[in-house]
Amino acid sequence: MEGLTGELRNAEEELRTLRRELIQASKMAELGTIAATMVHELKQPLFGIKSFAQMMLEKLPEDSPFKKKVAQIIEQSVRMEEIIRRIREFSRKSGEATFFDINEPIGAALELLAHGLRKSNIRVLRGLSPELPKIKGDFNQIEQVFINLIDNARDAIEGINGGMIGVETRQGTENQGVEAVVYDNGYGIPEEFRNNVFKSFFTTKEKEKGTGLGLFICQEIIRDHGGEIRLLGSEEITREINEGAVTAFKIKLPKADLQGDGNGR
Ligand SMILES: Nc1ncnc2c1ncn2[C@@H]1O[C@H](COP(=O)(O)OP(=O)(O)OP(=O)(O)O)[C@@H](O)[C@H]1O
Ligand SMILES: [Mg+2]
């Protein structure tokens, strides 16, 4: 009798937890919708502010003491526009999940950025392992992750002679899915920032350059895909990666269950 009551109590407790989680999940979904709407609504007024400021800047006499302030209004509006663009991009509904080789979105990201990288004389090292197990998910989102990582690497080596960016993929240890590493030999991440880089709006870049959302978005996308992304420590870099890498991010993704549902690519 005691046992049965105990079991019942446990089941009840479990149900309560489940209910709480459900409410929390729907609140989060609602919050997401509010954020998306808000960001959309902010676009127009912001565009107005920027346009009026631009008009003012043109009309102000060369020696006006207000010129600098008005230029700052424009600068800040551009920054807000960039934040809005990124949040909208992120909150857009994800596409249908498909099966693909992780090398494909990596190739697409590199192709997209190739021109700029070539122009800046950046050496790109590709170590993409063939015949990896397929992963399942949103191709464009995974491509976005690599675009963000390569963008950061490029910023970190800007102005450095002999800048290099490497992308490697390999089968996960113990046959658990796939791993990808993006590394560079740029200015590196100081110890005191290591715990902050994935936080939303954390940036060390100038106003016009960074919103601080890149790595946050990467982490959200990778988690959504059942994986993890982390910054490698210096010993791990020496152990795992070739010549001269300074900063490296590693992604792990589970391999797809090809027996399950989904439409193969
Ligand atoms: N490869 C890297 N080398 C050195 N520092 C890096 C690297 N990647 C990220 N960081 C640091 O982490 C911070 C956060 O990166 P994140 O991509 O989230 O934002 P951001 O690049 O500053 O802005 P955004 O990506 O929105 O344009 C950067 O400002 C930079 O200080
Ligand atoms: Mg970035």
What is the pLDDT, as a whole number, of residue 89? 76
CA-closest candidate to residue 213, choices 196, 199, 224: 199
Per-residue pLDDT at 58 exceeds 50:
yes
Q: Mutate which of 203, 207, 211, 250 to test ligand 1's pocket (most atoms within 8 Å of Cβ)?
A: 203
Q: Whose CA is nearest to atom 25 of ligand 1?
A: 214
What is the pLDDT, as a whole number, of residue 1? 59
What is the pLDDT, as a whole number, of residue 85? 86
**Topology annotation, domain 2-91:** Helix Hairpins (1.10.287)
Per-residue pLDDT at 217 exceeds 70:
yes
The domain ranges of the chain are: 2-91, 98-253
Per-residue pLDDT at 78 exceeds 60:
yes
What is the pLDDT, as a whole number, of residue 265? 39
Going by pLDDT thresholds of 50, 70 and 90, the confidence category of residue 260 is: low
Tokens matching residue 178: 């796939």
**CATH class, 98-253 region:** alpha beta
φ, ψ dihedrals at 165, nearest 5°: -125, 130
Q: Whose CA is nearest to atom 28 of ligand 1?
A: 203
Q: Which residues pair with 128 in a beta bridge?
A: 169
Instruction: Give per-residue pLDDT as tens, 14-36.
Output: 989 888 888 887 887 787 788 88
Burial of 230 (0-12, 13-18, 19+ CB in 10 A): middle
What is the pLDDT, as a whole number, of residue 264? 41
Q: Whose CA is nearest to atom 7 of ligand 1?
A: 152
What is the pLDDT, as a whole number, of residue 261? 52
Q: What is the pTM of this model?
A: 0.80
Instruction: Give per-residue pLDDT as tens, 127-185.
Output: 999 989 999 999 999 999 999 999 999 999 998 899 999 999 999 887 789 999 999 99
| DSSP code string of 107-135 | HHHHHHHHHHHHHTT-EEEEEEPSSPPPE
